[in-house]
Amino acid sequence: MNGTTSPARSWLAVLSLALGSFASVTAEFLPVGVLPEVAESFGITAGSAGLMMTLPGVLAALAAPGVMLLAGSTDRRRILLLLSVILLAACLLSAWAPTYGIMLLSRAMVGISLGAFWALALAVAVRLVDAEKAHKAAAAVFAGVTAAMILGVPLGTLVAEHFSWRGAFLAAAAIAAAAVLMQAWALFPIPAAGSMRIASLVAFMQRAASRKSMLMITLVFAAHFGTYTYVAPLMQQAGIGPSNITLLLLGYGVAGFFANFVASHFIGRSLRGSLLAAKVLLLASLAALPWLAGLPLAEIALILVWGIAWGALPLCLNTWNRSVSGSDTEASSAMFTFTCQVAIALGSASGGFIVDHMGLSATFTAGAVVVLPSAALLVGYEPRQKGEAC
């Protein structure tokens, strides 16, 4: 933390980053709630519409390390503001898109913005506060993610019900505009901790613990987004109406929001135990969903359990990743975001393929199967160096 900056001002800056993550995640995952309507408007299949999730994931993966390498020693405040402005422009373009090609262009812009923003926001947030509160600053940024699932995606679905899916993207643009304004006001100059170089990323990858961490992240994120992209169609298939789907997504987000803060408390006691518990809950909910498709109440309960698991997982995985990365927080954050976005792209693409060729139920079964080796990696992990995650 900058010694000339008051703790209150530092936490306002952290909250501005949380709002930015809220805006980014709202824009990235908004298609989840309106995917059937967008597919119908452009005359494409649900699997093809899933490209609205896959494309941002691919570009976000490239942008996370790419933008940070290009940034050099540029003030991090300037970069964060530029990325937020790009997000705003992307949301406006999505709302206007006359063709699916233009829609995909706007989604590409979302990917570039969110990938670099996530990586920088996570690296900057832990620098804005005292070291012993770094995990709480990271939790605040991830709270923006879970808050987007509470308000962002369900709000977009609700707006789409009353105005159209284009109105939902306009609502996302309004949130992005609010993030730009708050960051312009609250963020103070943030000098680079150092120019990130390719050697920094190579050093991170050379650690066996880092490679295992990235593999765990890949498996969990791929499983989650290969299935979460198709939650709305699954609920429709289970006989749950559009208005109840909106409420269910809201309940999912509320569960995740509180789980995020509960996890921030428990990871200080046992990071491995917290991470393993969240993985088990995710695996169990994904495995059971296709088998209980004829029982709407059971499906609702499982979605809520899924929300609890997902509320804890990103924070736990990020904390684990930082614990094995050494002192280079920007390299750790860049590789965490890179890995997450590659996994999102792989999961969404694989989910779309399975939906189109094998059906919805097979997608959720496949997701559960993918989580299993991630849990096994964690169970068998043995720290080799003092200070590594345990």
Calculate what percentage of the chain has a pLDDT beyond 90: 33
Angle, in degrees to the nearest 10, between helices 134-147 and 242-266: 180
Which residue matches tokens 């509180």? 258
pLDDT digits (tens, 9 = 90+) for 313-332: 988 998 888 887 666 677 88
pLDDT digits (tens, 9 = 90+) for 71-111: 777 888 999 999 999 999 999 999 999 999 999 999 999 99
Angle, in degrees to the nearest 10, between helices 242-266 and 296-323: 30
Domains and CATH numbers, the chain: 7-379 (1.20.1250.20)
- Residues 369 and 371: their CA atoms lie apart, in Å, by 6
Cα 115 from chain centroid? 10
Span of 63-77, 146-160, 260-274, 276-290 with lowest mean pLDDT: 146-160
pTM: 0.77
- Residues 7 and 149: their CA atoms lie apart, in Å, by 28
Asked if 279 and 309 touch (Cβ cutoff 8 Å), the reply is: yes
Local structure of residue 73 (DSSP, 8 states): T
pLDDT digits (tens, 9 = 90+) for 215-250: 999 999 999 988 987 887 888 877 777 778 878 877
- Can you give the pLDDT at residue 151? 72
Band (pLDDT 50/70/90 cuts) for residue 186 is very high
Which residue matches tokens 């209150």? 8
Rg over CA atoms, the chain: 19
- Can you give the pLDDT at residue 358? 86
- Can you give the pLDDT at residue 260? 84
- Residues 188 and 7: their CA atoms lie apart, in Å, by 13
- Residues 347 and 248: their CA atoms lie apart, in Å, by 22
Q: Does residue 328 or residue 51 have the better pLDDT?
A: 51
- Residues 274 and 277: their CA atoms lie apart, in Å, by 5
Q: How would you classify residue 386: left for phi > 0, otherwise alpha for psi between -120 and 50, otherwise beta?
A: beta
- Can you give the pLDDT at residue 104? 94
- Can you give the pLDDT at residue 215? 93
Asked if 20 and 183 touch (Cβ cutoff 8 Å), the reply is: yes
Q: Does residue 21 or residue 206 have the better pLDDT?
A: 21
pLDDT digits (tens, 9 = 90+) for 124-169: 888 888 777 777 888 888 888 777 766 776 777 778 888 888 999 9
- Can you give the pLDDT at residue 170? 93
Does pLDDT of 22 surpass 80? Answer: yes
> For the stretch 352-381, what's the b/e string if a residue is b when 16 or more beta carbons lie within 10 angstroms of its beta carbon?
bebbeeeebbebbbbbbebbeebbeebeeb
pLDDT, averaged across the chain: 85
Quick one: which H or E segment has residue 349? helix 329-358
- Can you give the pLDDT at residue 119? 83
Band (pLDDT 50/70/90 cuts) for residue 380 is confident
Does pLDDT of 2 surpass 60? Answer: no
- Can you give the pLDDT at residue 46? 75
- Can you give the pLDDT at residue 194? 64
Band (pLDDT 50/70/90 cuts) for residue 1 is low
